[in-house]
Chain A
Amino acid sequence: MIKFTNVFKAFPKGGLALKDVSFHIAKGEFVFLTGHSGAGKSTVLKLVYADEPVTSGEVRVSGFNVAELRPRDVPMLRRRLGIVFQDFRLLEDRTAEENVAFALEVTGARRSSIPARVMRVLTQVGLAAKAQAYPRELSGGEQQRVAIARALVNEPSVLLADEPTGNLDERATRGVFQLLRDINASGTAVVMATHDLDLVRQAPYRVIELQEGALVYDSAVDEPRDQAATP
Chain B
Amino acid sequence: MNLTIREALLAFRRAPLLSALSVTTIAFSLFVVGLFGLVAVNLQDALRGVAERVEIVAYLLPGTPIESITLAEKDIEAFPEVHSAVYVSEDSALARARAELVEFRDVLQELERNPLPASIEVKLKPRFRDAEHVNDVADRLRGFGFVDDVRFGRDWVEKLDRLRQVAAAVGLVVGAAFAVVAIIIIGTTIRMAVLQRSREIAIMRLVGATNGFIRRPFLLQGAIKGMLGGLVAVGLSYGAYTLINRWLIQAAFFSNVQALAIVGFGTLIGFFGSAASVGRHLRRV
Contacts and interface: CB of A to CB of B under 8 A. Distances in A.
A78 B208 contact: yes
Contacts of A90: 203
Contact of B3 (A76, A78, A105, A154): A105
Contacts of B14: 93
A72 B211 contact: yes
- Interface residues of A: mostly helix, strand, loop or mixed? helix
B211 A106 contact: no
A91 B14 CA distance: 12
Contacts of B200: 91
A154 B208 contact: yes
Interface string B184-214: 0000000000000000101111111111010
Interface string A82-93: 010000011101
Interface residues of B, number: 15
A150 B204 CA distance: 12
Interface of chain B: mostly helix, strand, loop or mixed: helix
Contact of B206 (A76, A83, A108): A83
B207 A150 contact: yes
Contacts of B203: 89-91
Nearest to B14: A93
Contact of B208 (A91, A93, A106): A106
A102 B204 CA distance: 8
Contacts of B202: 89
A79 B203 CA distance: 13
Contacts of A77: 208
A96 B209 CA distance: 19
A108 B213 CA distance: 9
Contacts of A83: 206-207
A103 interface: yes
Interface string A118-154: 0000000000000000000000000000000010001
Contacts of A108: 213
Contacts of B213: 106, 108
A75 interface: yes
A107 interface: yes
Interface in A168-223: none
Nearest to B283: A71
B210 A75 contact: yes
Interface in A18-54: 49
B209 to A, nearest CB: 4
Contacts of B3: 105
Given A105-B3, A106-B213, A89 B208 contact: no
Contacts of A74: 205
Nearest to B213: A106
B208 to A, nearest CB: 4
A11 to B, nearest CB: 15
B210 A72 contact: yes
A57 B206 CA distance: 24
B215 to A, nearest CB: 13
A76 B14 CA distance: 29
Contacts of B205: 74-75, 78
Contact of B209 (A49, A89, A106): A106
Contacts of B209: 75, 106
List 3 tightest A-B contacts by C-beta distance, closest first.
A79-B208, A78-B208, A103-B207
Interface of A: 49, 72, 74-79, 83, 89-91, 93, 102-103, 105-108, 111, 150, 154
14 contacts: A49-B206, A72-B210, A75-B208, A75-B211, A77-B208, A78-B205, A78-B207, A79-B207, A83-B207, A106-B204, A106-B209, A106-B213, A154-B207, A154-B208
